[in-house]
Amino acid sequence: MSTISLLGSTGSIGRQSLDVIAACGMSVSAITANKSTALLEEQARQFRPKLVVAYDPEAAKDLQVRLADLPVRIASGMEGLVEAATMEEADTVLTSVVGMIGLKPTLAAIGAKKRIALANKETLVCAGELVMRSAEETGAEIIPVDSEHSALFQCLECNRDRGEVKRLILTASGGPFFGKTREQLAHVARADALKHPNWSMGAKITTDSATLMNKGLEFIEAMRLYRMPPEKIAITVHRQSIIHSMVEYCDNAVLAQMGVPDMRLPIEYALTYPRRAKAVAGELDLLRCPPLTFEEPDCDTFRCLALALEAAKQPGNPCAVLNGANEAAVGLFLEDKISFLQIADLVAYALEQVPKGPADTLEQVLAADAAAREAVKEGFGRL
Ligand code: MG
């Protein structure tokens, strides 16, 4: 039975992971969050990890008091995250923190040869080469938690020769604004963007799903994880989110992985692979399913997707710039400081402003990320 260090335990994926862990009777070695101390306390009392990390130092002080009666160590900051990612007891590190902050602990966990259940797509988007190279060096397994990549992982499993793969086909729900025009999107509110038709997720990824940046990031994530060139990855809008992605082989056979849209299914598979355990997610009733439809994505209306596909084709730092700029711009949108369409404007501005360069080392990736955030700040001032 696995012992899991769960980075980002209070977010949407983190909470669903704890559901799976409880249902499957696995143990938890560490939980981490930014500063949701009340929930961290509750989780610590239920799962009894050895280490609890609040990234925010003030929140860590609060936890010391809250958990004084438990035999638990409290830590904070990046050091705390790295400690959680590398602890002896853990065989699996589930990284569900949101954004670039997940990169260092993921690299540390890879260094410690842990199995990585990866739910932090930003890590692979920014530093895909670095992460995959490190994993090859240490032999650490990376099992994707993202539903599309888990689907691809499952459809690729039986295939020994990657040369037999013709295309990866990523499915996209299309988000809450599918079929809308740019004019209609000019005045959408934050609350509208946060209403996803099929999946229940956090604010950052739900916004990314509305702009389709999420699919762009997933395209880059698929390139890195499966070492596929961009011309061998296709995106199809599939509104029902029943097929989670497909692999087309050289003989034109297409394998699809299907299921109800419930993140607990890919989470569970990442934790139990290569076995399958119990049914935590619900059953797919094909007779009650809506008809399955497939359509082209609209890259003109959803410019974020076009920007991501463009960055994906370029070597070096553009993907890290894209990601950093997007994180900063989505932050501004969620604070009601910019409009929905301005997210793409600011990402495009950052991609123009930040000089191209390599992204082979952690320092280069972090520098590209910082420059992108700076460019968004500057671009915001000019709006
Ligand atoms: Mg996904």
Going residue by residue through the chain, which has 383 residues, state the pLDDT in tens, using 9 for 90 and above. Answer: 799 999 999 999 999 999 999 999 999 999 999 999 999 999 999 999 999 999 999 999 999 999 999 999 999 999 999 999 999 999 999 999 988 889 999 999 999 999 999 999 888 999 999 999 999 999 999 999 999 999 999 999 877 778 899 999 999 999 999 999 999 999 898 888 888 777 767 888 899 999 999 999 999 999 999 999 999 999 999 999 999 999 999 999 999 999 999 999 999 999 999 999 999 999 999 999 999 999 999 999 999 999 999 999 999 999 999 999 999 999 999 999 999 999 999 999 999 999 999 999 999 999 999 999 999 999 999 98
Give the pTM: 0.94
CA of 147 to the centre of ligand 1 (A): 5
Residues with CB under 5 A from ligand 1 (ion): 146-148
| Closest alpha carbon to 23 in 200, 264, 283, 201 | 264
Cβ proximity of 63 and 74 under 8 Å: yes
Q: What radius of gyration, in Å, describes the C-alpha atoms of the chain? A: 20
Q: What is the DSSP letter of 56?
A: S
CA of 383 to the centre of ligand 1 (A): 31
**Secondary structure, 3-state, 203-268:** HHHHHHHHHCHHHHHHHHHHHHHHCCCHHHEEEEECCCCCEEEEEEECCCCEEEEECCCCCHHHHH
Cβ proximity of 207 and 193 under 8 Å: yes
Beta strands in 293-336 (DSSP E): none
| Helix or strand run (H / E) with residue 381 | helix 362-382
Cβ proximity of 113 and 137 under 8 Å: no
Phi, psi of 167 (to 5 degrees): -155, 145
* pLDDT value for 198: 78
CA of 309 to the centre of ligand 1 (A): 16
Residue type, 27: S
Compute the half-sphere exposure of residue 213: CA atoms within 13 Å on the CB side of its CA. Answer: 29
* pLDDT value for 162: 84
* pLDDT value for 159: 74
> In 10 A of CB 176, how many CB atoms?
17
Q: What's the rounded Cα separation, in Å, for the pair 12 and 198?
A: 14
Phi, psi of 249 (to 5 degrees): -100, 170
CA of 335 to the centre of ligand 1 (A): 24
> In 10 A of CB 299, how many CB atoms?
17
CA of 214 to the centre of ligand 1 (A): 7
Q: What is the DSSP letter of 163?
A: G
CA of 88 to the centre of ligand 1 (A): 30
CA of 65 to the centre of ligand 1 (A): 37
